[in-house]
Amino acid sequence: MKFNVLPFAFWLLGVALVVTGPLAHAQKEKEKRDFKVVSEVKDRHGNTIRKVQYYEGNVKITQEIIMPPFPGIKERPKVDPDTLNRDSVLVLVEKSNYLVAIVYKRKRIRQYRAVFGPTPLVDKMMAGDRNTPEGWFKIVSKKEHSNWQKFILIDYPNEESYAKFNKRKQDGLIPSGASIGNSVGIHGTFTSGVKMVDWGMGWTDGCVAMKPEDINDFYRFVWPGTRVFVRR
């Protein structure tokens, strides 16, 4: 008797697709260890040029980071999020400045240090490139997370994302069989990894990562539907 493997193969594919959401993403970004600063100097513009090393599994990774001074807002005035008009809240992500800001009625009321993937100034092109997507998004959901304190999911890929993705395929910038990716969000970091944020280490798979105390504060100011603008 012949056994038809196609139904079983499709079942396996279905299982694989089921675990490509935020849970799978959460399991993939593994904790880094033994991170250290190899060298650090400031240039004439006040930028910190820092070479860092860490281990991911058994692989030693070295990064050189150019990190600008942290601009503005160091104090956090008391603000009751429940008194805010939610439609007037905007999350601004500035990758070149390594920061996330809460903007309310065109005024920054919060600002946090943040890190991204290994090449933060590159727009996301396709699944697996570990880049943070640029453009306009909205928050889809927010929830507690066992490793990263909080996870705020954005609606990547959206219509704008697909338009850029398809154009890049047409232009031959990415393989014809590439997929667009998903499960991009804003989250905290491992409790042992606060220095990764301070040092600007790009360790995520395309998400935006902040310190535990910062993501807990940020979480209070955002809701499903909150607009997010990510720029270089």
What residues are annotated to the active site?
187, 207
Is the distance from CB of 22 to CB of 142 less than 8 angstroms?
Answer: no
- Tell me which residue of 99, 107, 88 sits closest to 232, measured CA to CA: 99
Is the distance from CB of 189 to CB of 145 less than 8 angstroms?
Answer: no
User: 81: burial class by Cβ within 10 Å (0-12, 13-18, 19+)?
Assistant: middle
User: Taking the CB of residue 122, how many other CB atoms lie within 10 A of it?
Assistant: 16
Both tokens of 231, joined, read 């720029």
Phi, psi at residue 180, to the nearest 5°? Answer: -80, -25
**Alpha carbon distance, N-terminus to C-terminus of the chain:** 60
C-alpha 49/C-alpha 41 separation (Å) is 5
C-alpha 36/C-alpha 60 separation (Å) is 11
